[in-house]
Copies of this chain bind each other. A is one copy, B any other.
Amino acid sequence: MIIIGERINGMFKDIARAINDRDPGPVQEWAKKQEYNGAHYLDINVGPSSTEPVEAMKWLVEVTQEASDLPLALDSTKYDAIEAGLKLCKQPAMINSVPAEMAKMERVFAMAAEYNAEVIGLAMNEEGIPKDADMRVGLAAELVATADAFGIAPDMLYIDPLALPCNVAQDHGPEVLRTLREIKMISDPAPKTTVGLSNISQGTKNRELINRTFAVMAMANGLDSAIADACDDELMAAVATARIILDMDIYCDSFVDVFKQRNR
């Protein structure tokens, strides 16, 4: 599974302060730390309170790239900020994210085609997040079809079925797992899949336990990637183990270390 490291995000106080003070230290430390712990992409989010998201995104992209060669996932609802970031990315990036709403898809898929970017597509639209798997799969199909119209292959898309906190929307859990499985039948090649892993445990005790359990259950249903905490050692060990069970990496006695050290 591909781990998109979640930590360079202005919702964390140290990153918010770093952006505000234009202090590259915390950003670059987290870039290196996440890479060291096995992240494959670095998510870049200026945070909800940024008053100048375009400038903040440009700065974050530049200082992150000084510290790490990992590809970036540009994470914003402000598409101008994403576009400004894409112009600076040294290698193809990921756009995080677009819902199945036509105007937004048109904007995002046009950018993705221009910058050869992958795209996270959310299984939601103007009406919100559907209650069941069938509706989520329907929205995933809309994302695939619209991307195709822009010349974007299905496997450049990462469909996020949108996991919800298990303490308030528990009935969504089985639906999300079924969505992951059925998304793989939409097209050939199939779209890839992703989740914002920590959503499943928002507001619960035992957050790490719930996160890593959900991660491997989702992998057993076709999950390809997750926006997650690459520095959660037990999560990374669980993911490495699931890859062995799914026959995605060759078993050796030190398979956990091998998975985490792949970037080094």
Task: Give the nearest-CB partner of A205 in chain B.
Answer: B253
Query: Of residues 187 to 232 in A, which have CB atoms within 8 Å of B's CB atoms?
Result: 200, 204-206, 209-210, 213-214, 216-221
Given the known inter-chain contacts A213-B216, A217-B216, A220-B177, please indicate yes or no for A206 contacting B241, CB distance below 8 A.
Answer: yes
User: B247 near A174 (CB under 8 angstroms)?
Assistant: yes
User: A213 near B251 (CB under 8 angstroms)?
Assistant: no
Task: Give the nearest-CB partner of A220 in chain B.
Answer: B217
Please report the total number of A residues contacting B with Cβ < 8 Å: 35
CA–CA, A204 and B242, complex, Å = 14
User: B174 near A246 (CB under 8 angstroms)?
Assistant: yes
Is A250 interfacial (CB 8 A cutoff)? yes
Is A135 interfacial (CB 8 A cutoff)? no
Q: Looking at the complex, which one of B170, B219, B247 makes contact with A244 (CB distance below 8 Å)?
A: B170
User: B218 near A170 (CB under 8 angstroms)?
Assistant: no
Is A99 interfacial (CB 8 A cutoff)? no
B residues in contact with A237, CB < 8 Å? 209
